[in-house]
Amino acid sequence: MEERLAALLATARQRLAAARSEDEVRQVQVDLLGRKGELTAILRGMGALAESERPRLGKLANETREAVEALVAGKQAELARGALDRRLVEEAIDVTLPGKPLPSGSLHPITLVLEELKDVFLGMGYDIAEGPEVETDWYNFEALNIPKDHPAREMQDTFFITDEILLRTHTSPMQIRYMQRVAPEVPLRAVFPGHVYRRDEDATHSPMFTQLEILAVDRNISMGDLKGTLLTFARQLFGPDRQIRLRPSYFPFTEPSAEVDVSCIFCNGAGCRACKGTGWLEILGAGMVHPRVLATGGYDPEKYSGFAAGLGLERITMLKYGFSDMRDLFTNDLRVLSQFKGVRA
Ligand code: DAH
């Protein structure tokens, strides 16, 4: 019996050394230690032993079982380590390889220009505010000194929702909303960016476009302040050599009113195709806030004055980045947009 136990241990060693998989190890375990296995068979012979021999051989049988179990456990651990090592080799990642480039988007050119404009005006101490695109007739027209039968209404092909509710045709209603919010506090300096809507569409007009309204109210604000502010703005946006000029014009909500040109950014004033030979590019409308508009906003026109201006971001963007068709700003063609990759506001 001793020999058989020794032989069993030897078999265990040999088979486990040769085993290549966890299944094989489990088979060795079953064959040798299982209910119908080798050890069970050996123990069945215990009955034939002399009474005095049983304790010693019983102990030896137990030790043999423990020894085989230890070998099995050792082999299992070895296989597991091997599997891990293989996986580590197979699944190794070379972290020094260059990564796959992920497709990245870009900021829209109008966003770029808007951020630049905000920076310019924040730098001059202006607040930035936004308001509703669905407006009342009163804020969009009436409060801006454009009564119902006023011809100026025809200049702005309006999308009406009801008789009194419309899509704002300009950001000027924000002049009123903002004045009403802060009046009679001065100084008031604020810009109002946002979308506006008009029934119009061709290469230079879109039914939805973007404006920036500029408003300053204080004691003794003059046309000189307006001019200085616009010159600063034009030079920051289009370069330090820019000149501006004001041409008399008409808007119901400003008096006097002006159309403002910047010296052509392409030919520097010499005259070219972009400026139609004039040397000047029109960039915005402006003027001194009409006393009636000031009063509606809550400012006594005897005490306070102000200037206002409104510009179209699409036009500025087209000039700055050389777009000739405004629709290219809205079709979101990746061949156009991807050219702005990496350009930061
Ligand atoms: N609201 C005008 C428009 O959309 C633009 C404008 C002109 C705004 C003169 C102003 C201004 O603030 O003073 O046509």
pLDDT tens digits for 41-87? 888 888 888 888 888 888 888 888 888 888 888 888 888 888 888 99
Angle (CA) 306 301 252, round 5°: 65
What is the C-alpha to C-alpha distance for residues 201 and 167, in angstroms, rounded to an integer? 16
What is the C-alpha to C-alpha distance for residues 213 and 177, in angstroms, rounded to an integer? 12
- Name the token pair of 15: 């088979």
Residue 12 has pLDDT above 90, yes or no: no
Residue 251 alpha carbon to ligand 1 centre in Å? 7
Say if residues 229 and 124 touch (Cβ distance below 8 Å). yes
pLDDT in tens, 278-297: 999 999 999 999 999 999 99
What is the C-alpha to C-alpha distance for residues 199 and 213, in angstroms, rounded to an integer? 20
What is the C-alpha to C-alpha distance for residues 340 and 338, in angstroms, rounded to an integer? 5
What is the C-alpha to C-alpha distance for residues 249 and 23, in angstroms, rounded to an integer? 94
Percent of the chain with pLDDT over 70: 100
Say if residues 277 and 332 touch (Cβ distance below 8 Å). no
Is the omega angle on the peptide bond into residue 187 within 30 degrees of 0, that is, cis? yes
- Name the token pair of 138: 């009163």
What is the C-alpha to C-alpha distance for residues 55 and 79, in angstroms, rounded to an integer? 36
Residue 172 alpha carbon to ligand 1 centre in Å? 6
Please tell me the residue having the least CA distance from ligand 1 atom 14. 170
Amino acid letter, residue 180: Q
Residue 63 alpha carbon to ligand 1 centre in Å? 101
pLDDT in tens, 147-196: 999 988 877 799 999 999 999 999 999 999 999 999 999 999 999 999 99
Indicate whether residue 251 lines ligand 1 (CB < 6 A). Answer: yes
What is the C-alpha to C-alpha distance for residues 246 and 289, in angstroms, rounded to an integer? 16
Q: What is the mean pLDDT of residues 84-106?
A: 90
Please tell me the residue having the least CA distance from ligand 1 atom 12. 309
Say if residues 321 and 343 touch (Cβ distance below 8 Å). no
Q: What is the mean pLDDT of residues 252-270?
A: 96
Of 172, 189, 191, 247, which is best to mutate to test ligand 1, by the most ligand atoms within 8 angstroms of its C-beta? Answer: 172
Instruction: Name residue 309's beta-bridge partners.
Output: 214, 286
Write the CB contacts of 318 (distance below 8 Å, at least 6 apart in sequence): 324, 326, 329
Say if residues 271 and 258 touch (Cβ distance below 8 Å). no
What is the C-alpha to C-alpha distance for residues 157 and 178, in angstroms, rounded to an integer? 25
Indicate whether residue 308 lines ligand 1 (CB < 6 A). Answer: yes
pLDDT band at 309 (very low <50, low <70, confident <90, very high): very high
Residue 311 alpha carbon to ligand 1 centre in Å? 7
pTM of the model: 0.74
List for the chain the helix, strand, coil content (%; round to 5): 45, 20, 35
